[in-house]
Structure formats: C-alpha cells, structure tokens
Structure 1
Amino acid sequence: MYKVLVNDNISQKGIDILQEAGIEVDFKPEQSREECLNTIHQYDGIILRSMTDLDKKALAKAENLKVIGRAGTGYDNIDLEEATKKGIFVFNTPTGNTISAVEHTLGMMLSLSRNIPQSNQALHNNLWNRKKYRGVELKAKTLGIIGLNRIGSRVAKRAQAFGMDVIANDPYLAPEKAESLNVPLLSLEKLLKKSDYITLHIPLTEETHHLLSEAEFKLMKKNARIINCARGKNIDTKALARALAENEIAGAAIDVHEEEPVSKDNPLLDFEDRVIMTAHLGGTTIEAIDNNSIAAAREVVSVLEGNLPESPLNIPVMDPQEFKKAQPYIELVAKLGKFMAEWKGDQRIKAVEVEYGGEINNFKLKPITLSLIKSILDPILDNRINLVNAMHIAEEREIAIKESKIQNETELKNLVNLKVKSDKEEYSLSGTYLPNGYRIVRINDLRIDLELDGEFIIVSYQDKPGVIGKITSVLGKDKINIANMQVGRKSPGGEAVVLIQIDSKPSEEVFQEIKNSLNEINANLKEINYLKI
C-alpha cells in the first residue's frame, strides 16, 4: 500500500480520491517542518500548497518519495532540480483556478466601471449619493489585453459578450491563434493608446517587470482603467499612483501587489474612490480549491500507478545514474538554446529543429530536447518554464518542434545541430561537448570553433578587408578586453560572421561606433548583438 502525506490544507474531495484508490493518507497541515523532516522518508507521495518547503535538505531525507503534487500553480517552495536528480515527479494544477481568475478579472472591471465597492461602503456608512457613484458602461468600450494566454483568451471571449471591442498585445502568440478569437494583435504602444480598459495576463519576467510604468501611463487615454490580476510587479505601483494623482488615467483595480500583504504605506490606498484593491483573490474560490485538490489527488494516484502526470514540472525519465551521464549533453543544448534566444530573442519563433549525432544518441533524447526548448523560451516568456510545460507552451504558441538523429561523420564524437525558423528568417547553430568544455562549431553553416561560455559580441557582415581591425580598434579604445575570437566565412567577399569573446559588456555608444566604422568600408553590416551565456 502506498502512503501519501497531505501537508497543507486541501479539500476533502481530494483526500477522498486518494483513500478510494487504496492509498493511506496522513493529513497533517499543521505539523512543523521538523516533524515533516523526521517522517518524510515514510511517504511515496506528497500533496502540498505554498506553505511546505521541499528544499534540498527535505528531499535528501525523502528516500521513498516518487511524486510531489502542488495543488495550485506556484512552486517556488519546491527544489525542482533536486527532485529531478532523485527521480521524483513534480507536477502542479495550472488550470484549476483558470475560471476563477477570469471571473475575478471581469468582476474587477465591472466594479471599477460602476463604483460598486465604493457605493456599498457609502451605504454602510449611511450615505446615499447616486450622483457621486455614477458609472460607465462596458459596451462599445475597447479592452486591451496584455497576454492572450489561457486566462487572457477567456477574458476576451467574455468581454466580447459584453459588446466590447477587444484588442491584444502578445508578441509570442501566433497571429492565427489571435485571429481565431477575433482579437487583433497590436504593438504595446498602440494598445495603450487605443484602450479604454487594460488588463494584464502575463508572467513576471525581466521583460515584463514594471511593464506599465511612467512612460506607458502617459500614452493612455484620460479615461483608461487598469485591471491587474496577473503579477504585482508587472506594474510600477509608484508610477501608477502618480498617474492617478495627475489624472493621466481614470482608475485601477488591483488584485496582485508588489508587496504582499499590502502595507499601510502603499500609495494606492490614497485613492479609495478610484482604486479597487483585493487581497490576491483571483484564484481563490471554493471551486478552484476543490478543482486543484481533485486534480492533485488524481495525478498522485496516476503517477503511483505508473503513469506520467498531465501537468509535470519536471521529467525524471532517466534514472539518477543515466541522468548524471547525460548531464553534459543537457547542459550543451541549454547553452545552445540560450545563445539562440539571446541572439534572436526579438523574433517570433515558428519552428525549432534539432539534430543529434554521435554519443548523445546513446541516451533518451526527450529530456534533452525538453531542456533545449526550455532554454530557448526561458528568456522571452517566463522564468517558471520547466522541462515539460515548455513543450506545452511551445504547442500553445504553435511552434513546431522536430527532433531527429543524424549519422555523425565528422571528427567530433557528438554534435547538436539547431535550426530555428522565425517570422523573419531562418538561422542555425551547431555545438559539441568535449572533455575540456562546450564549443560552438557552426553559425548559419559558417565554421566557428569557440568556447560556449561567457560574454560575446556576434557580428554578421559581408567579408571585407579591414572589418576585424575596425571592430577590435573600437573595442580596444573603449577598454573592452578580447578573450578570444573566431571568424567564419564560406568564401572571400561572401557572407561572414565574427564571434568575439569579451570580458565586459560594451555600451550602446560602442555598438553605434562599430556600426559607423563598418558602414565606412561598406561591409554590409547585417547585425551586431551582445550575448551572455
């Protein structure tokens, strides 16, 4: 008989599912961390929420653990890497609170339009003021959705039922997907200028941190209203408060906050007539808790019966010994993927093709390919992307993935060829793993041989005398030390690329000076980029 620990509060419906499957359940949401560490070796599975910390220390004691189920979406409290090394499946329940989040967004938008919370509070204070709380209709207004994902797309459908015109910004979504929803895709600037309401449904990444700040608020209509049920740090709170104070926008409804719990110093508290604030309630409904509990319990039962979970956060399909041997190749594709993402990260990816040659084919390729896709999408989407949901996200974004084996006839014992097709061009990289490190050996079919680690400048141009001299001269003048350099070309005067390994990042002025220098000798500069691997 399997034994499962439920270490945080879930609904009884989830516990019933476990027990009906013949699993012994210990429901201990109140136990201390010390008690958990002392008994965790007894369990085959654990279901938790956000209060239980399964770090490296805890997992080291989990000798029999086979599956960790997160009843909810976030999983910062689980050491995924350590669980993967130990062959423990980890999954979450990402869709359990989708409808709750969608409905909360619409509720916030309606409340903001009709001043429902403010009027309610006034009546409780024996104040009757119909004129003060006169609202506006949603019909015929334009709703701008930033992030047309699982939640954003459902918000769009419901807003259209209200008679709203819906537009969206999502640079990584296939236009065909947006067309099927009858939602035009616009640039962020155009969306901000056109929208009467703006709602965010995006992850928190470096790119989306403070996505809405002072400059963005100045682009909006005076009657614009903001709704945020995504991530608190997507919006610059101080900038939002200034925009409200200066009447640059009409109001805001905020469910997620830069600091939680919200402190008394939060500047949005000064705008009680124009700002509605809730305590991160987007996914907190009875139904959502039931859905997450039921989904987590069913997944635990399924995994213990020998199946793969439907929403895994990792893929420990290798046993720990095989994983250790394959680690260099997993790291190789991760480096190639990151190189590709930083090199061409401003383009929308349509297809990824990876070819494996040599010793790498002795291992199961699926986790290696998953590591590649994760590394390509990581910098442009979400730092929560992992070895499985990366593939799901790729499918959702309609990115075609092709994996194949090749006969490696070179002197290299292993080789990875990576080809990517974007909405603008096709480009490729090749790399290998050697006992002394990782190497990049080809860029767009041009031969290169350079260590795949550190900081780089990559320059694509037409081969001309003096190009390398111009580049190195500018770098030297700005005291940018060159650690290594390789030039690739097919023929004199033809397409060429130089990859320069440097010790520090050049300024924008240096890049512009290099561009000007190469233009002086008509080198037909195609691109110049900085990468950090």
Structure 2
Amino acid sequence: MKILVSDDVSIKGVELLREHGYEVDVKTNLDEEGLIECIGEYDGLITRSMTHVTEKVIDAATKLKVIGRAGVGVDSIDIKTATERGIIVVNAPTSNTVAATEHTCAMIMAMTRHIPQAHDSLMAGEWDRERFTGIQLKDKVIGIIGLGRIGSGIAKRMQAMEMKTIGYDPYIPEDRFKQLGVESVDLDTLLRTSDYITMHTPLTKETTGMIGAEEIAKMKDGVRVINVSRGAVLDINALADALRSGHVAGAAVDVFPEEPLGQDINPFEGLDNVVITPHLGASTVEAQIGVSVDVAEGVMAALNGEPVPTAVNMAPVPMNVYNVIHPYFDLMERMGVIGVYLTEGPMKEIQVEYTGELADTETRLLTTAVLKGALNPILQDSVNFVNAPEVAKMRHIAVKEIKSHDNGYFLDAVTVRIKTAKGEHSVVGMLFNKNEAKIVQIDEYRVDFTPEGYLLLAPHVDQPNMIGQISTILGQARINITGMQVGRMTQAGNNIMAIAVQDDIPNDIMLKLRSIDGILDMKLIHCDVQH
C-alpha cells in the first residue's frame, strides 16, 4: 500500500511506516490542484495543518482508506465527506499534552520574573535589576479553567511550586477534583480570588469569548492571566486594555483568535507586561516525534482493518448491523447533545433504552453515538465513536443499555436518561418513515420537534400573554420561530413552552426573556452535533 505525506512531519513516523512495508512518498507544499492530481494512487494520507483535504480532494482519492493528522486539530479535513466515503480520519491527540503543559509553566515563570524583558534589556547594554523585580509563586492562588489532561498537569506542577490550586470545570466529578488536590469552585469565585488564571478549555459555542471585559473586571487587581488553549476563548483586546490600566499585572498568551498574529491586529504592541509566543504549545522535538509516530501507528491500524483508538469519525461495523442502525446515528448523537444541555452538574450515569426493532439488534455503536453527543460539547479533547466509552469511563460515568419489547406509547423509540447528583432528565426520540428524526418527549412533557438548530425550553406560570411576550421579544430581535408547543407540567398551574428558533439567541435577548414575569426557567439548547 502507498502512503502520501503532504506536510513536514518527523522522519520517525515515516521510517516506521517503511519498516512495516509501506511505500511512502513525501511531497510537501502541494496546493489543492497538486493534491488532486496525485492523490488517486494512494491508500493513506498524512497531513499537518498546511494541507487542506477538501471535498474535491476526497472525490479524487479513489483508493484512499485513511487520512492521518499529525496533531490534534482536524479543521483542515472535510470529515463529513471523508466519513460519507468510508475514509477513516485519525489524529494524534495525546502526544503534545506534556509539551503544552510545560509551555504553560514556562510562560507563567517568564511572565512572573520578566525574563524576556530582562534579556532584551541586558542585550541592549543595560543593567537594571530593580526594574525587573518579580514575585514568588509560593502561596499564590492559581485558578485553572478546565481540568482535562493539560489542566490537571498544570495543577500537579504548580502544586510542586507550593501554589494553592483551585479549578472550575462543571463537567468534572467532585471525586476527580479530590484526586487532583484541586478545590472546586464556580467561575465567579475563581475570577475574584485567583492571583493567576490559566485557561485550558475546548473551543465551543459556550467557551468562545468566555473571558471578556466583564469577566476581567471581576478579577482582583494585580491578577496575571495565561492562555495556552484556544485563542477565541479570551478577548485579547479587553486583556490589553486591562494590562494598560494596570488592573491586570501581567499576561502570557500563546494562542490568538486570528493566526498568524500580524502587527496590524496585535493589541499588545508596546506593552512590556505581557509575554507572547507564536502558538508554540506543541512545539517540542519530543511532541513532534510523538505525533508523527502516533499518527503512523493509527494509519497502519486503519489500513489493517483494526480498531483505531484515535479515529475521529465512525469505525466500521458489519453491513447487516449497519443497515439497521445507520438511520439512527444522527438522532442518537443529537439526543446526547440535548440531554447534556438539560443537566446540571457532572453526569453520573447515561442510560439508553431501546424498544421495537432496535431491541433485537446490536446497539453498542448507537449508545456510543449518544456518548459522543453528550461529551463533545463539554470536553477539550475530541470524542469519537471509538474513544467515547473510554472517555466516559475515565470520567466515572456509568453507561447502561436497556432493551424492551414493551413499546408503550411510542413504537421503535429510544429513551436517553442522564443522571446527575441533582436529578435525572430524559429525552425520547424516534424515526418517522425510517428517516425523519423527531424528539417526542422531554422529561414528562410530550413534544414534537426535529432536533435541529436551537430549541428554547421555558417552564412558566399558566397565565395570559406568556406566548405573546416571548414572541414579541423574539420578533423584535428578528429571530424566526419555526415551531412552538405548550404543554402542562405535573405541578398544577404551570406549563412548559418548547420553541424552535432558526438562529442563536444573543445573551441580551435571553436576559429579556428570563425577566418576563411568570417565567420559571429558560434554557436554550443547541441541538446540532459537532463533526
């Protein structure tokens, strides 16, 4: 089999492939046209971020069985088209964890002790010790936003520096915090009490702009801010303003909303209390060797027809099973998404009940689709059909399947129940005409909507003009309502409204909706799944 390497990767991965009998060609700097011209002769493709594997490229890849990304991000690969063509996409998500963790620590130390500035001063012939007086990390409080692999690594290393570690991660169980020796706090407490704040979250709708001017204003005077996660999590313009005012004493930033960061969009120009680096979090010799070797192993496993733990799209299943379960995949994943939006606090158990025809077939991959939908919106690392069960296990989430031939009210229905310390929520879904996905029940309320776009759930007091007030606010904001239902709740005198809307609802409009007299709660659920 032949494999094309289209970007610069460590020779170690290339050598490993050749040692196992694969013919490997290294052709870098190919544009889309150049890739299209040659891709048809290859069984495997290994890329980094410079190669864009578009739909046109995949259409031309008549022999391609696997695409390997030597790194984490797969934004440059059309995963949807690859999946439709039966091409497995694999990445190397763990090899740069240590590199990113150590770079964060290096940024903290460089910022705290003014190392880059002192170096430049000395190279300019100056000897100014007083100007570069720093502070000690010992006994300072570091707030860690996101306690995944990198965040937990930061906690371990900063504890060795005798710092007090507190953390915010609404999706990490309390016992995990205890294992890490990190005090669990809410975001507001973390912002107000931390001497250092470091971010290690995925980039999702919820985390985009997570730390902006309002959040920075809550931070204590003299705070130091670090971001080696995703550029769009932090408003760098608001941070630059706070650095100029002195409210923020120092900052260390490795990632930016737009990369590369040019002088025309660099808000830190002229500031001497910030350390910035050009996205070097994963740039170590060991990490580059690691991602090269890891992706080579993943590509070989895929070409050998073996399970691939780092696959980011669906693993192969027997055709007879696939034909039965295939129409349900999208529904199952969206039910997981809806379920996690309904819950409060860390998930403890996910239960999936199958009735009708699904009770008589193999459904583990469908349950995995539910896990993928429930875990992807809340985790920094990509969750796929292969690793979702292990991710749930690592997070102490029990997963149960129930099969029943007692169809009850709905035929061929699936019920997803998600349990937390604060209670249980359930979602019931089914297919009409074998292809039309519908959500037919949420908790005890009967509904009927297609799980697409955005859904607004609003428990409210049963009184006149509730529908009118909500419709008026949405209409004035030019947000189109595509469906609406009102049902009675079990508690006398209260109803629930389910409103399907075409577009996202900005925070200021959500505040107006929540302020309506008689509204008991208001949740906006983004039903779409991550690909």
Normalised to the residue count of structure 2, the TM-score between the two structures is 0.88
Question: Aligned residues: percent identity?
Answer: 35
The Cα RMSD (Å) is 2.9
**DSSP 3-state at the match of 1:267:** coil
Change (3 A) 1:452 1:267: closer
Matches within 5 A, 1:418-457: 418-435=416-433, 437-449=436-448, 452=451, 456-457=455-456
**DSSP 3-state at the match of 2:100:** helix
Whether 1:128 and 2:127 are equivalent positions in the alignment is yes
Matches within 5 A, 1:16-95: 16-95=15-94
Q: Which has the higher mean CA deviation after the structures are superposed, 124-133 or 400-409? A: 400-409
Shift of 1:528: 4.3
Equivalent in the alignment of 2:105 = 106
Equivalent in the alignment of 2:167 = 168
Change (3 A) 1:54 1:409: same
Change (3 A) 1:455 1:493: same
Q: Is the 8 A contact 1:333 1:368 kept in 2?
A: yes
Whether 1:512 and 2:515 are equivalent positions in the alignment is yes
Q: Is the 8 A contact 1:87 1:320 kept in 2?
A: no
Q: Which has the higher mean CA deviation after the structures are superposed, 97-106 or 435-444? A: 435-444
Q: Is the 8 A contact 1:93 1:292 kept in 2?
A: yes
Shift of 1:189: 1.6
Whether 1:529 and 2:523 are equivalent positions in the alignment is yes
Shift of 1:65: 1.6
Distance in 1 separating the partners of 2:415 and 2:23:
48
Matches within 5 A, 1:325-340: 326-340=325-339
Shift of 1:306: 2.4
Specify every segment of 5 or more residues in structure 1 that has no aligned partner in the other structure, as ranges.
517-524
Distance in 1 separating the partners of 2:447 and 2:258:
47
Deviations 1:465-511 (A, max 9, x none): xx275534544666867845353667x95997554557886754444
Shift of 1:423: 2.6
Shift of 1:345: 5.0
Distance in 1 separating the partners of 2:473 and 2:50:
50
Change (3 A) 1:48 1:503: closer
Equivalent in the alignment of 2:149 = 150
Q: Which has the higher mean CA deviation after the structures are superposed, 171-180 or 219-228? A: 219-228
Equivalent in the alignment of 2:212 = 213
Distance in 2 separating the partners of 1:513 and 1:121:
57
**DSSP 3-state at the match of 2:418:** strand
**DSSP 3-state at the match of 2:515:** helix
Q: Which amino acid aligns with 1:420?
A: I
Q: Is the 8 A contact 1:483 1:503 kept in 2?
A: no
Q: Which has the higher mean CA deviation after the structures are superposed, 403-412 or 124-133? A: 403-412
Q: Is the 8 A contact 1:268 1:275 kept in 2?
A: yes
Equivalent in the alignment of 1:270 = 270
Change (3 A) 1:57 1:486: same
Equivalent in the alignment of 1:284 = 283
Matches within 5 A, 1:168-187: 168-187=167-186
Q: Which has the higher mean CA deviation after the structures are superposed, 149-158 or 388-397? A: 388-397
Equivalent in the alignment of 1:119 = 118
Equivalent in the alignment of 2:478 = none
Equivalent in the alignment of 2:357 = 359
Q: Is the 8 A contact 1:87 1:318 kept in 2?
A: no
Equivalent in the alignment of 1:350 = 348
Deviations 1:116-149 (A, max 9, x none): 1111111111111111112112122211111111
Deviations 1:37-62 (A, max 9, x none): 12212212111111111121111122
Distance in 2 separating the partners of 1:503 and 1:17:
49
**DSSP 3-state at the match of 2:203:** coil
Shift of 1:291: 0.8
Distance in 1 separating the partners of 2:314 and 2:452:
26
Specify every segment of 5 or more residues in structure 2 that has no aligned partner in the other structure, as ranges.
476-480
Shift of 1:71: 0.8
Shift of 1:381: 4.1
Equivalent in the alignment of 1:471 = 466
**DSSP 3-state at the match of 2:292:** helix
Deviations 1:157-209 (A, max 9, x none): 11111111111111111111110111101111211222221111111122222
Shift of 1:513: 2.9
**DSSP 3-state at the match of 2:25:** strand
Change (3 A) 1:528 1:159: closer
Distance in 2 separating the partners of 1:243 and 1:414:
56
Q: Which has the higher mean CA deviation after the structures are superposed, 90-99 or 32-41? A: 32-41
Q: Which has the higher mean CA deviation after the structures are superposed, 71-80 or 431-440? A: 431-440
Q: Which amino acid aligns with 2:375?
A: L
Equivalent in the alignment of 2:401 = 403
Q: Is the 8 A contact 1:84 1:316 kept in 2?
A: no
Shift of 1:17: 0.7
Q: Which amino acid aligns with 2:63?
A: N
Within the candidate set 360, 372, 375, 1:374 is matched to 372
Q: Is the 8 A contact 1:86 1:320 kept in 2?
A: no
Deviations 1:66-114 (A, max 9, x none): 2211111111011111222222211111111111111111111111111
**DSSP 3-state at the match of 2:89:** strand
**DSSP 3-state at the match of 2:142:** strand
Q: Which amino acid aligns with 1:56?
A: E
Distance in 2 separating the partners of 1:113 and 1:359:
62
Matches within 5 A, 1:182-197: 182-197=181-196
Bigger Rg, which one: 1
The size of the alignment, in residue pairs, is 516
Change (3 A) 1:26 1:476: closer
**DSSP 3-state at the match of 2:90:** strand
**DSSP 3-state at the match of 1:153:** helix
Distance in 2 separating the partners of 1:417 and 1:185:
32
Equivalent in the alignment of 2:232 = 233
Normalised to the residue count of structure 1, the TM-score between the two structures is 0.88
Change (3 A) 1:452 1:298: closer
**DSSP 3-state at the match of 2:16:** helix
Distance in 2 separating the partners of 1:210 and 1:204:
9
Q: Which amino acid aligns with 1:234?
A: V
Whether 1:137 and 2:131 are equivalent positions in the alignment is no
Q: Which amino acid aligns with 2:485?
A: M
Deviations 1:291-315 (A, max 9, x none): 1111111222222222111211112
